[in-house]
Amino acid sequence: MNYIAISVTNFTGFDPEIVIAQMAELGFESFTETESGIQGFIREDMYHEEPVITYLQQVSDNHGLRYSFEKIADQNWNALWESAYEPVTIDGKCRVRAPFHAPQPGIAYEIVIEPRMSFGTAHHETTSLMLELMMKEELHGKRVLDMGCGTGVLAILAHKMQASQVVAIDNDEWAYANAIDNMEKNEAMAVEVIRGSCTNIPGPSYDLIIANINRNVLLQDIQVYSEFLSEGGTLLMSGFYEQDVDMIIAAAESSGLHFVGHKSDNNWVGAKFVK
């Protein structure tokens, strides 16, 4: 079966998840993260050009996104799929790989992620930043909440770091299903995966809350995160740019949180706050 691959780039200030969600509605069945954006794949016999072009031209005109097309022959599909998912190793301790990659001895936390429609394969800077920040925390016996869990990679790491309770929440149907699948692959079925938003957070409180979403959602929900955070607890956030740091800090401090510090990678930021 031949596939059509569409690359979308130049996401400065615009959330790739919005494009992924719309392309999924148009029939695209899988996505990969690239260094410059995303790439979506759809079977050639399922591809309807007019609505796809209309949508992509709209986001191009309104947000400056760029897009390009490529036809993938059936015989090249598996090789392309696998080549798009090289394993990612963070700080020599956490390795995120696909099921078709062999395990690597000597890695403290090896996480298997099935590449599907949701972000969180550690190729994107925000995911790798969050993994790095999490590994600096002591999670043994702690209660952890992962908001906007995507593939569930951060929740899986929390489980592997021996958190006593891990809850993972995402409002996207594909992400929810993918996260459950990845919990099974990583023997992390103790993680509670919920399809919903901050209104669906089960109480009473958490020692660590991780939120890798986007600036607008973080600003909207940070007060809720603070309410569910234990006194002395930690909030780790990513999904925003360097130029948004002051705005995020102001919202956090007005919600009773103290800014500890942040780390940047290619203008993306991972930040730490405590209550």
- Going through 126-212 in order, the beta strands assigned E by DSSP cover 143-147, 165-170, 192-195, 206-212
Q: 159 and 252: one domain?
A: yes
Tell me how far apart the alpha carbons of residues 33 and 88 are, in angstroms, rounded to a whole number: 13
What is the total count of domains within the chain?
A: 2
Using left for φ > 0, alpha for ψ between -120 and 50, and beta otherwise, residue 182 falls in alpha
Q: 169 and 248: one domain?
A: yes
Tell me how far apart the alpha carbons of residues 112 and 99 are, in angstroms, rounded to a whole number: 6
Q: What is the CATH number of the domain that holds 56?
A: 3.30.70
With contact defined as beta carbons under 8 Å apart, do 205 and 229 qualify?
yes
By the 10 Å C-beta count (0-12 exposed, 13-18 middle, 19+ buried), 86 is classed as: exposed
> Which residue, of 32, 67, 82, is where some domain finishes?
82
Q: 73 and 173: one domain?
A: no
Q: 159 and 51: one domain?
A: no
Sign for the pseudo-dihedral over CA of 127, 178, 191, 92: negative
For residue 219, report the phi and psi dihedrals to the nearest 5 degrees.
Answer: -65, -35
Predicted local distance difference test score (pLDDT) of residue 117: 46
Look up the domain containing 42 and give its range: 3-82
At a CB cut-off of 8 Å and minimum separation 6, what does 101 contact? 85, 87
| pLDDT tens across the length of the chain (275 residues) | 678 889 999 888 788 888 888 888 888 877 777 778 888 888 888 889 999 999 999 989 988 899 999 887 765 555 665 566 678 899 999 999 988 888 999 999 999 987 654 455 666 788 899 999 999 999 999 999 999 998 899 999 999 999 999 999 998 877 898 899 999 999 999 999 999 999 999 989 999 999 998 888 899 999 999 999 999 999 999 988 898 999 999 999 999 999 999 999 888 899 999 99
In which residue are the tokens 């700080």 written? 91
Residue 150 DSSP one-character state? T
Q: 92 and 195: one domain?
A: yes
Name the β-bridge partners of 39. 7, 32
